[in-house]
Chains A and B, each alone.
Chain A
Amino acid sequence: MDYAVETTDLTKCFGSLTAVNKLNLKVQKNTIHGFLGPNGAGKTTTIKILVGLLKPTEGSVKVLGQEVHVDDADSRLEIGYMPELPKFPKHLKGAELLDIYGRMYGMTQQQRAEQIPKLIELVGLKGRENDLIGKYSKGMQQRIGIAQALLNNPELVILDEPSIGLDPVGMVEVRELMKTISKEGMTVFLSSHLLFEVEQICDHVTIINNGSMLASDTLQNISNTLGPAMMHIELTDLSDAVISAVKKLPFVSGTWKTGSTLLIQVKTYDDVRAQVSQAVTGAGGVIVGMSQKTSNLEEVFLQLVTKDKEAKPNDHDATE
């Protein structure tokens, strides 16, 4: 498999603190890959290693098939990176900044003349491109940050919390933008704490905590293999015999009674409706309706992180 990002036992320590711990991250090309973790999980540290800002303590990193080294300028030719809360020189105008960065990428005057106005419009800064960045609001700085990350039509775009500071309309626009650029062949690696954002646009998700990977797969697979599911069964009459019969099923981890509705938490995402139905009717119950709901990313995320915290209660939070 050809990966846009591939890390092998990536470890980064700051003194006695392990910010990233033997991380084996794989980002498939032409996907939108969400990178999730609570504050201090090591997301930003990982990203900084990917873009060559930090040197790993151990392990290796390949981006677009090339080993990443600190200060390897050529390895960044095909990467667009937007840092978390990006800061740009206040003395430059928005268009000037993009022009200078475009020159650094080796874009010709014609390429810059075509690409810069397009990006300015795309990120919603038209009419403000000739203002000094020092006069930009936080949201506008975020927008110019997105523009500079897309300037070189990179193969891989790394976005660290791109929605911070944006208004709701801006957040929707950014999500649409990520979908568009992904369709056009770019790989998007998105670090975000907005789970609904990740859920809406990402094909793949990696969840980390305390620098270690907790899960990495497609959203569907993560939900299926890790997340609990709830079944809602509506009966004409909910008896204790029915509850008792359901509880005996090996994949049931919990039951709750709400009027004539029985909520069942199951440990698997296999379709177990037939077995449940058999158990209910066998105990004399009459089913009016039945549904099985998969957990959303938030539930999966919370479950994984909570489990990890319970398993390693003494681990320190890593730096972001």
Chain B
Amino acid sequence: MTTTQQSSRPRPSWFTRFWAVVRYEMLWNIRKKKFIGVLIIAFAIATIVLVAPVITSKTTGVPITANPNYAITFGGSSLVFFLFAIGTAMNSISSEFESGNIVPLVTKPVSRTMIFLGKLFGAFVIILVSYVILYAYITLSSVLVYGPQNDLQFMPIILIGSLISTFIWVSLLFAVGSISKNTILTVLVALGLFLSLFIAIPLVSVIAGASPSLNYLPGSGAGGTMMINNVNMTINTGTDNLGVNMVNYFLYPQGNVTFSKINIQAIQAGETALPTTGVLYTEPISLVALRALGVAFAYIFVFLFVAWVVLKKSQILE
């Protein structure tokens, strides 16, 4: 070996080292079977949703009604966001400790902050590219199934909203992974929280109506309605509907969302056979969208801060 001593070796830039970590993470992500599985599931869900009306139409002979707003209102689903987060971030930090790969990594001239940010950015790029392909597929398919689509210039906002929603889960996985250093525990905590919210939010909605408290939890939030051109439009709030509600705000800046409660007691008392609703409160769509954005960023910031501090303070005993 011919070695050239480089005692006055130039110090590599922060970005050079950071980018090396991003490459490390991205190569891992694109080769993960879990991630490939998630990608297949996401495309399968989108395909089923889009193909189902075509099959129904063929079976029943009823033509598909043109819907020029289909693509713009197809905001993704909580499950897809959660799955993408799991596919990319479930073992991003914990597995480094479990496998012992962390030792050679942190003994290279990269700080733990670089490793943390590199991993985060790697996950961001992979999810962004996946969502761009997914939303392009949905948009194209929407045109084929439901005819020409309106307001497609807002598709990037839907995409950004989906990314932010996904990153709540990514941040949570980073935080739990950093603390526990155990992938199974990380997934169980995230899955437990996801399922709890998935069950709790509809339950709260039935008992307390569209309670304002639902707007401060990650997930689907409270459900309301917005009157647009004399048509009552269903508005789902919460961080999972961030993109759609930002678009709603741009399209209908003066819109107001009305949140109601079903009067169950009246049904139980036999006062009425059909459910009646009572208005709980009304909020402008701007508040609904901005609050969801604020709540999402608050969760992301807190979870990522916890993950970063814990990773930075970790002593590696492996």
Contact = CB atoms under 8 A, between A and B. Distances in A.
A188 to B, nearest CB: 12
Count class of interface residues, chain A: 35 or more
Given A51-B107, A76-B107, A83-B104, A106 B1 contact: no
A119 B1 contact: yes
Interface stretch (A35-43, A89-97, A235-243, A310-318): A89-97
Contact of B114 (A73, A81, A186): A73
Given A83-B103, A87-B103, A155-B5, A104 B110 contact: yes
Given A73-B111, A83-B104, A150-B1, A96 B12 contact: no
Given A74-B109, A86-B103, A91-B28, A106 B17 contact: yes
Contacts of B23: 100, 103
A100 B25 CA distance: 10
A153 B312 contact: no
Nearest to A93: B27
Contacts of B1: 118-119, 122, 150, 180-181, 184
B108 A76 contact: yes
Count class of interface residues, chain B: 35 or more
Interface string B22-59: 01100110011000000000000000000000000000
Contacts of A89: 24, 28, 99, 101
A181 B112 contact: no
A77 interface: yes
Contact of B101 (A71, A76, A88, A119): A88
Contacts, number: 121
A104 B3 contact: no
A53 B13 CA distance: 22
Contacts of B112: 71
B315 A100 contact: no
B268 interface: no
A130 to B, nearest CB: 14
A276 to B, nearest CB: 49
B13 A106 contact: yes
B27 A92 contact: yes
B104 A86 contact: yes
A77 B104 contact: no
13 contacts: A77-B12, A81-B104, A83-B100, A83-B104, A91-B32, A92-B27, A92-B28, A103-B23, A104-B108, A122-B1, A152-B6, A155-B7, A185-B5
The 7 closest A-B pairs by CB, nearest first: A106-B12, A87-B100, A103-B20, A73-B111, A104-B108, A104-B20, A91-B31
Interface of A: 48, 51-55, 70-74, 76-79, 81, 83, 86-92, 96, 100-101, 103-106, 118-119, 122, 145, 148, 150, 152-153, 155, 180-181, 184-186
